[in-house]
């Protein structure tokens, strides 16, 4: 038996590392790519609220609401909208009670752009896709992150081995031969890989860095008794003082915003926490918008809650924290202006398509070799490809339809939006196993396109945030969402049409025809 060369061994490594975790990688890439528009999706998911243009108005409205609702609370928290978001969220924590962690906070109220409380539907919006791409939702969080980390490491191996395997990959980037079956899938896979190769390497490596303490905690545990002690030292937080028992008026919130803007050279806060409100010992902590800095981490100002005097400021200071924060910031791309965000998004689309074409190429390459024989592995991969590559986008579209159609008073409505997405995906996976493969591709791609195209039509007729309404209001974010849905829907319909389009048998298929006929009697 001829000894396998290095490049041939890398080809096998590339194939199997990509295939074994390919479906989860597709989920990670697709949901991560969509998450670049997390704020816009969240805005679209709450059609009851308009765009926020005046930060001070919503901040004052939040203070007014909290003063009337919970004047004796241990702390107030105001989450202010960034430029791409709308509305503020005001919450309070009772004395002696732990801070609320997950789900819908019963003490939270949305403040509209006019500074008054507004009732909005319970929804996770874009956060559903963002959390799914690294938590996997339905399994324990730590397990989900371990699975994602394992698959991400496989992705890194697949990238490196793919570059080694395809020695002419850069030359092949300029070659695309449509209508050639397996050759066309390989050309598309190569072109998509090279087109965004730096992005793929960056996003995969920095994805591992974001959870590096989970995957490799040894440096932290070697120097600290617990991971909790490490986090407390690496990102220290000011402890709220005990209330004095003497009432005192809170400093004007507008002054707090102006102090933060001056300190941060025009930067604005995204969260304001007020400890001991209404007390002489009140303390205000303002956290800077993550979109205004590349380095992810705690950027904060601590103010005296009565006088507004600055007590302290905090920024990532050590070289290690700055390096890690920079990589996390690069991965999440919160800092990116619109042009760069589009570049990240399109590179993510290329990465998603690269994973999809790799999965499809595996079956395409083996179909002809099997000469009519279909072993279980091929049958399973082919069906999983259909249910994932075509079925997952339909499931995500189902989430958007659930946002519009579920009853507004439904308990745990935000969770049910995600349940609809999961059930739709499960249905599409099962559907792929009972339909002929080609018909399943056509039907799932076509249904996804139709569902996407009809969403803007429904919005225009059933909400006050349709495409025409948003154009009149000059709301660029929602206009972009509606046009994006139409564009994606059209793309899926074109893909369904291309799959359904009759084609002449290729040369290899004509050569195999007698053998296939004999095999089938």
Residue 379 is encoded by which pair of tokens?
A: 């049958």
Nearest to 298 by CA among 318, 275, 315: 315
CA distance 309 to 499: 66
Residue 353 is encoded by which pair of tokens?
A: 């398509």
Contact 288, 318 (CB under 8 A): no
CA distance 33 to 350: 10
Q: What does the pLDDT read at residue 446? A: 96
CA distance 47 to 456: 13
Phi–psi pair at 109, nearest 5 degrees: -135, 135
Residues 6+ away with beta carbon under 8 Å from 275: 74, 75, 240, 241, 282, 283, 284, 285, 305
Contact 432, 383 (CB under 8 A): yes
Three-class SS state of 272: strand
Question: Which element (helix H / strand E) includes 260?
Answer: helix 253-263
CA distance 395 to 307: 52
Tallying the residues shown for the chain, one arrives at 521
Residue 270 is encoded by which pair of tokens?
A: 């995204």
Question: In the Cβ-directed half-sphere of 97, how many Cα atoms lie within 13 Å?
Answer: 13
Question: In the Cβ-directed half-sphere of 404, how many Cα atoms lie within 13 Å?
Answer: 21
Contact 76, 66 (CB under 8 A): yes
Three-class SS state of 336: coil
Q: CB burial class (10 A; 0-12, 13-18, 19+) of residue 331?
A: buried
- Residue found by looking up tokens 């901040």 in the block: 59
What is the β-pairing status of strands 88-93 and 75-79?
antiparallel
What is the β-pairing status of strands 269-275 and 109-111?
unpaired
Count CB-CB contacts under 10 A for residue 186.
21
Three-class SS state of 91: strand
Count CB-CB contacts under 10 A for residue 229.
13
Contact 114, 107 (CB under 8 A): no
Residues 6+ away with beta carbon under 8 Å from 498: none
Q: Looking at residue 167, what DSSP letter applies?
A: T
Residue 457 is encoded by which pair of tokens?
A: 């039509």
DSSP E strands in 326-424: the ranges are: none
H-helix segments, 292-373:
319-332, 338-370
Strand partners, 75: 93, 275
- Residue found by looking up tokens 């209404």 in the block: 278
Longest dimension (CA), the chain: 94
Strand partners, 271: 79, 287
Question: In the Cβ-directed half-sphere of 38, how many Cα atoms lie within 13 Å?
Answer: 20
Assign 3-class secondary structure to 437-468: HHHHHHHHHHHHHHHHHHHHHHHHHHCCCCHH
CA distance 348 to 340: 12
Q: CB burial class (10 A; 0-12, 13-18, 19+) of residue 34?
A: buried
- Cα(first)–Cα(last) distance of the chain, in Å? 36
Sheet holding 88-93, edge to edge: 109-111, 88-93, 75-79, 269-275, 283-288, 300-304, 310-314
Contact 479, 487 (CB under 8 A): no
Strand partners, 91: 77
Contact 31, 345 (CB under 8 A): no
- Residue found by looking up tokens 């007020």 in the block: 274
Q: Residue-wise pLDDT tens for the chain (521 aa)?
A: 455 565 565 666 656 666 678 899 999 999 999 999 999 999 999 998 888 888 999 999 999 999 999 999 999 999 998 888 888 999 998 887 766 666 567 888 999 999 999 999 999 999 999 999 999 989 999 999 999 999 998 888 888 777 777 666 656 555 555 555 555 656 666 666 677 788 888 999 999 998 888 898 888 888 898 888 888 777 766 677 888 888 999 999 999 999 999 999 999 999 999 999 999 999 999 999 988 888 888 889 999 999 999 998 888 877 888 888 899 999 999 888 889 999 999 999 988 988 888 888 778 777 766 655 667 888 888 999 999 999 999 999 999 999 999 999 999 999 999 999 999 999 999 999 999 999 999 999 999 999 999 999 999 998 888 899 889 888 888 999 999 999 999 999 999 998 888 765 555 444 544 443 343 33
């Amino acid at each position: 038996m001829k000894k396998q060369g290095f490049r041939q061994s890398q080809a096998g490594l590339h194939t199997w590392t990509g295939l074994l975790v390919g479906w989860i990688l597709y989920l990670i890439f697709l949901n991560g790519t969509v998450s670049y528009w997390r704020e816009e999706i969240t805005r679209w998911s709450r059609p009851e609220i308009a765009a926020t243009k005046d930060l001070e108005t919503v901040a004052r409205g939040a203070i007014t609401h909290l003063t009337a609702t919970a004047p004796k609370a241990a702390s107030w928290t105001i989450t202010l909208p960034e430029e791409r978001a709308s509305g503020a969220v005001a919450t309070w924590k009772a004395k002696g009670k732990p801070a609320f962690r997950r789900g819908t906070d019963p003490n939270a109220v949305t403040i509209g752009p006019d500074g008054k409380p507004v009732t909005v539907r319970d929804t996770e919006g874009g956060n559903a896709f963002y959390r799914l791409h690294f938590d996997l939702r339905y399994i324990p969080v730590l397990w989900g992150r371990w699975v994602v980390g394992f698959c991400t490491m496989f992705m890194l191996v697949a990238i490196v081995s793919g570059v080694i395997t395809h020695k002419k990959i850069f030359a092949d980037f300029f070659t695309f031969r449509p209508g050639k079956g397996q050759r066309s899938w390989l050309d598309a896979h190569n072109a998509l890989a090279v087109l965004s190769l730096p992005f793929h390497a960056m996003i995969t490596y920095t994805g591992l860095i974001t959870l590096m303490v989970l995957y490799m905690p040894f440096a932290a545990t070697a120097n600290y008794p617990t991971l909790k002690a490490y986090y407390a030292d690496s990102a220290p937080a000011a402890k709220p003082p005990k209330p004095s028992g003497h009432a005192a008026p809170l400093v004007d919130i507008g002054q707090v915003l102006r102090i933060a803007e001056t300190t941060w050279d025009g930067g604005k806060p995204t969260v304001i926490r007020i400890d001991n409100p209404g007390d002489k010992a009140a303390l205000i902590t303002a956290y800077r918008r993550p979109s205004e800095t590349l380095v992810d981490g705690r950027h904060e100002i601590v103010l005296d809650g009565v006088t507004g005097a600055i007590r302290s400021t905090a920024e990532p200071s050590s070289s290690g924290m700055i390096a890690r924060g920079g990589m996390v910031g690069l991965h999440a791309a919160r800092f990116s202006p619109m042009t760069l965000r589009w570049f990240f998004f399109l590179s993510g689309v290329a990465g998603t398509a690269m994973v999809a074409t790799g999965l499809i190429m595996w079956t395409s390459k083996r179909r002809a070799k099997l000469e009519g024989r279909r072993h279980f592995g091929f049958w399973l991969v082919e069906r999983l490809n259909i249910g994932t590559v075509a079925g997952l986008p339909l499931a995500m579209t189902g989430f958007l339809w659930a946002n519009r159609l579920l009853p507004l008073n439904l308990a745990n409505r935000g969770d049910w939006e995600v349940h609809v997405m999961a059930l739709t995906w499960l249905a599409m996976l099962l559907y792929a196993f009972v339909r002929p493969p080609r018909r399943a591709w056509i039907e799932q791609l076509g249904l996804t396109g139709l569902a996407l195209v009809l969403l803007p039509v429904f919005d225009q007729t059933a909400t006050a945030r349709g495409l025409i309404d948003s154009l009149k209001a000059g709301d660029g974010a929602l206009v972009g969402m509606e046009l994006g849905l139409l564009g994606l829907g059209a793309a899926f319909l074109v893909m369904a049409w291309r799959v359904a389009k009759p084609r002449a048998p290729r040369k290899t298929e004509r050569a195999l025809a007698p053998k296939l006929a004999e095999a089938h009697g």
